[in-house]
Structure 1
Amino acid sequence: MRLYFFVKINYNNHLDNKMHIIFDINKYLQKGEHIMSKINVALIFGGKSGEHEVSLLSAASICKHINRDKYNVFTIGITKEGRWMFYDGNEENIKNGSWVDLANQNVEINLIPSGNKEVGLKFEDGRVEKIDVLFPVLHGPYGEDGTIQGLFEISQIPYVGCGVLASSVGMDKLICKKVFSQIGLPQVDYTYTNRWEFNTNKDQELNNIEEKLNYPIFVKPANLGSSVGISKATNREELLVGIEEALKYDSRIVLEKGINAREIEVAVIGNEEVKASIAGEIKPAKDFYDYEDKYINGASTYDIPANIKTEDMEDIRRMAIEAFKGIDGKGLSRVDFFIDKDSGEIFINEINTLPGFTNISMYPKMWEATGLEYPKLIDRLIGLALDSKK
């Protein structure tokens, strides 16, 4: 493509003599002159986790809002079977899943420096598009648990979001709870079990759990997000069913004491300098904010900002930053809290290192309410990714 620009010349030092001369930039490029070019962003979505559909919604939303004047967007989808494919089309086909049938399987995706292969996307005509920054929107295992971040580190391409350590710690609810305990963040009482111990002696494990926690008890897979596999048990029979359901998703289970709680969330952004948004409150349509409410029916409501005391707002924002720094976070995270309706105590619940970016997701909504609109938020996250590799 031939590019042109206009230059205003101060002729004989008289500003009144304005001349506009069209220059063919291509001549200057041949001489090594530098001009501003678009940033090549590879948006990676889909994946093998139980949150595949959530990822499609997030990717479609980012595609819709990203500044195309500033970025060339290359969309790379990962099927549920783990196949990587290049898709060049509109966001609606990402959202509804038809991108798989429309993908161009002749485009070679190479993120690993090896031999004479160039890192980037190789098209049928031999053209290779270098990727300047990777933008993963892969929720759940194989996406926000540090595994794909390790691949990105090997590729030496800057990427949006937390690194390997923060991603893996943030994804593992049990390990994350231990880190939060170490840095002094308040949490509800909890315990844990695993598939082997539970299946070896179910009655004994149930007895151990009931000795440590009073009902109601929340049952959660240790490594999963978006409330997948989570249940609330009010008796031993429900506890057994909940654990067996959670074990379908992970081999380790976290069990938490249920409290009469308000659910508060806050968004954080930054690398070394970290900022927290104003907090929002989720008002679940059911007993708790589950997968169906988050991504399907949208029956729950929310308040942004949360209607809480000023000092509670500041404490929550402070603790969110502490939690993010505590796991060595980079880029972005959403941090979730409980406020006990009876005692007023604040407890940290968990941190999500790759929160949802759908049109009803809290992360972009909280930043928008804080003054950072969606396209600018995307800009900021890409900028942080590029800054982290300088």
Structure 2
Amino acid sequence: GFDLEPFIETDEIVVTSKDKNGTGRNLMWKGDSRWVEVTVGVIGKRGSMHSLSPSVTVKETGDILSLEEKFQGGTGINLTPPPLSIMSEAALRTCKQNIELIANTLQLEGFSRIDAFVNVDSGEVLIIEVNTVPGMTPSTVLIHQALAENPPMYPHQFFRKLLDLASERSST
């Protein structure tokens, strides 16, 4: 047997190093397909997981990121949350609610990272993969997502929270 899965075509988001008059960077996105790929951290107790803000990866060139670049923070730039020119606040809210629903349905707890396709108009989410043991390199996007919280969750608070969640879990 075999599985049939929907094929999602995304438009890549590219950052030019300089705009026409050489003053700064420019974000280019066709927006034809209305789907973007995001990665988003979820944190909390089983049944009440909280979604951090999703990050969308943009490329400095039109090239596909190598595995090495992804993990070493090479040419991939993460925007957390996706800019309003790409995704509205309403769609972002719906996306986070959907991510929380998915995390709670899967009975995730503690901390995980979910990679997904998101429709920028509706906030509809299609899961790519769930990482229950996400990588923690210096370039990890999860720290950026914690800092994008309101109020910001600084790295020491973020790791303290993870430790608290883990110790609560191990004592029950």
Superposed pair shares fold, TM > 0.5: yes
* 2:62 is equivalent to residue 281 of structure 1: no
- The Cα shift of 1:334 comes to 1.2
- The Cα shift of 1:265 comes to 2.1
Distance 1:383 1:311, change over 3 A: same
Tell me the TM-score normalized by structure 1. 0.32
For 2:92 and 2:65, locate their aligned partners in 1 and report how far apart those are by CA, in whole Å. Answer: 21
Tell me, yes or no, if the aligned pair for 2:38 and 2:117 is still in contact at 8 Å: yes
Distance 1:312 1:288, change over 3 A: farther
Structure 1 unaligned segments of length 5 or more: list them: 1-190, 193-211, 213-254
Q: Which string of whole-angstrom CA distances, capped at 9 and with x for unpartnered residues, describes residues 74-113 of structure 1?
A: xxxxxxxxxxxxxxxxxxxxxxxxxxxxxxxxxxxxxxxx
RMSD over equivalenced CA pairs, Å: 2.7
Structure 2 unaligned segments of length 5 or more: list them: 11-34
- The Cα shift of 1:336 comes to 1.9
- The Cα shift of 1:316 comes to 1.4
For 2:109 and 2:62, locate their aligned partners in 1 and report how far apart those are by CA, in whole Å. Answer: 33
* 2:97 is equivalent to residue 322 of structure 1: no
* 2:70 is equivalent to residue 294 of structure 1: yes
For 1:380 and 1:343, locate their aligned partners in 2 and report how far apart those are by CA, in whole Å. Answer: 31
Tell me, yes or no, if the aligned pair for 2:49 and 2:108 is still in contact at 8 Å: no
Q: Which amino acid aligns with 1:274?
A: M
Tell me, yes or no, if the aligned pair for 1:323 and 1:351 is still in contact at 8 Å: no
Q: Which string of whole-angstrom CA distances, capped at 9 and with x for unpartnered residues, describes residues 250-275 of structure 1?
A: xxxxx762412422222110113321
Tell me, yes or no, if the aligned pair for 1:263 and 1:283 is still in contact at 8 Å: no
Higher RCO, 1 or 2 (CA under 8 Å, sep at least 6)?
2
For 1:295 and 1:301, locate their aligned partners in 2 and report how far apart those are by CA, in whole Å. Answer: 12
Distance 1:325 1:289, change over 3 A: farther
Distance 1:315 1:343, change over 3 A: closer
Q: Which amino acid aligns with 1:266?
A: V
Q: Which has the higher helix share?
A: 1
1:354 is aligned to: 133
- The Cα shift of 1:349 comes to 2.2
Tell me, yes or no, if the aligned pair for 2:65 and 2:75 is still in contact at 8 Å: no
Q: Which string of whole-angstrom CA distances, capped at 9 and with x for unpartnered residues, describes residues 157-212 of structure 1?
A: xxxxxxxxxxxxxxxxxxxxxxxxxxxxxxxxxx64xxxxxxxxxxxxxxxxxxx6
Tell me, yes or no, if the aligned pair for 1:263 and 1:338 is still in contact at 8 Å: yes
Distance 1:339 1:299, change over 3 A: same
Q: Which amino acid aligns with 2:99?
A: A
Q: Which string of whole-angstrom CA distances, capped at 9 and with x for unpartnered residues, describes residues 119-140 of structure 1?
A: xxxxxxxxxxxxxxxxxxxxxx
* 2:127 is equivalent to residue 377 of structure 1: no
Q: Which string of whole-angstrom CA distances, capped at 9 and with x for unpartnered residues, describes residues 42-88 of structure 1?
A: xxxxxxxxxxxxxxxxxxxxxxxxxxxxxxxxxxxxxxxxxxxxxxx
1:271 is aligned to: 45
Secondary structure of 2:43's counterpart equals: strand
Distance 1:344 1:271, change over 3 A: closer
* 2:118 is equivalent to residue 368 of structure 1: no
Tell me, yes or no, if the aligned pair for 1:268 and 1:275 is still in contact at 8 Å: yes
Q: Which amino acid aligns with 1:384?
A: L
For 1:324 and 1:256, locate their aligned partners in 2 and report how far apart those are by CA, in whole Å. Answer: 21
2:89 is aligned to: 310
Secondary structure of 2:144's counterpart equals: helix
- The Cα shift of 1:342 comes to 9.8
Q: Which amino acid aligns with 1:352?
A: N
Aligned-pair identity (%): 22
Secondary structure of 1:257's counterpart equals: coil
Tell me the TM-score normalized by structure 2. 0.68
